[in-house]
């Protein structure tokens, strides 16, 4: 069963506009959520995270919103830049004694100049 879902395989936006990447989850026990960015031939790199006790976290051009009642989170990138073009993964951490992360399938973002 896919506990973390990213239903949009791809997204294309114009440089300078807002990019919104979405993620849904099914397990209400998840206590922490993360976004990773992945370029080809590289490993995922951490972008931004949010604890389940918060509904928003902001870091520069990146903001993550969490709606616990809807089991939904989103990543906003404003303004989008061509260098943001990559695959974005949403990941969730459950309340276990390991650092196990459950990843979504990823969304490929293309930012056009």
Question: Which residues make up the interface to another protein (CB under 8 A)?
Answer: 4, 6, 9, 32, 34, 36, 41-46, 89, 91, 93, 96-106
Least distance to another protein, CB of residue 99, Å: 4
Q: What beta strand segments (E) does the chain contain?
A: 4-5, 10-14, 19-25, 32-38, 45-51, 56-59, 62-67, 72-77, 86-93, 101-103, 107-112
As a whole number of angstroms, the distance between CA 58 and CA 54 comes to 11
31 versus 58: smaller Cβ distance to another protein? 31
b/e map 6-31, b = 16+ CB within 10 Å: beeeebebeeeeebbbbbbbeeeebe
75 versus 91: smaller Cβ distance to another protein? 91
Least distance to another protein, CB of residue 39, Å: 10
3 versus 15: smaller Cβ distance to another protein? 3
Least distance to another protein, CB of residue 113, Å: 26
Least distance to another protein, CB of residue 112, Å: 23
42 versus 70: smaller Cβ distance to another protein? 42
2 near 101, Cβ under 8 Å?
no
């Amino acid at each position: 069963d896919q506990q973390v879902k990213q239903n949009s395989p791809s997204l294309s936006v114009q440089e300078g506009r807002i990019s919104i990447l979405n993620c849904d989850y099914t397990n209400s026990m998840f206590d922490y959520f993360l976004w990773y960015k992945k370029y080809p031939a590289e490993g995922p790199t951490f972008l931004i995270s949010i604890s389940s006790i918060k509904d928003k976290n902001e870091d520069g051009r990146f903001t993550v919103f969490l709606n616990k009642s809807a089991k939904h989170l989103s990543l906003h990138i404003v303004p989008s830049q061509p260098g943001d073009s990559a695959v974005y993964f949403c990941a969730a951490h459950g309340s276990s004694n390991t650092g196990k992360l459950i990843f979504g399938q990823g969304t490929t973002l293309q930012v056009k100049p």
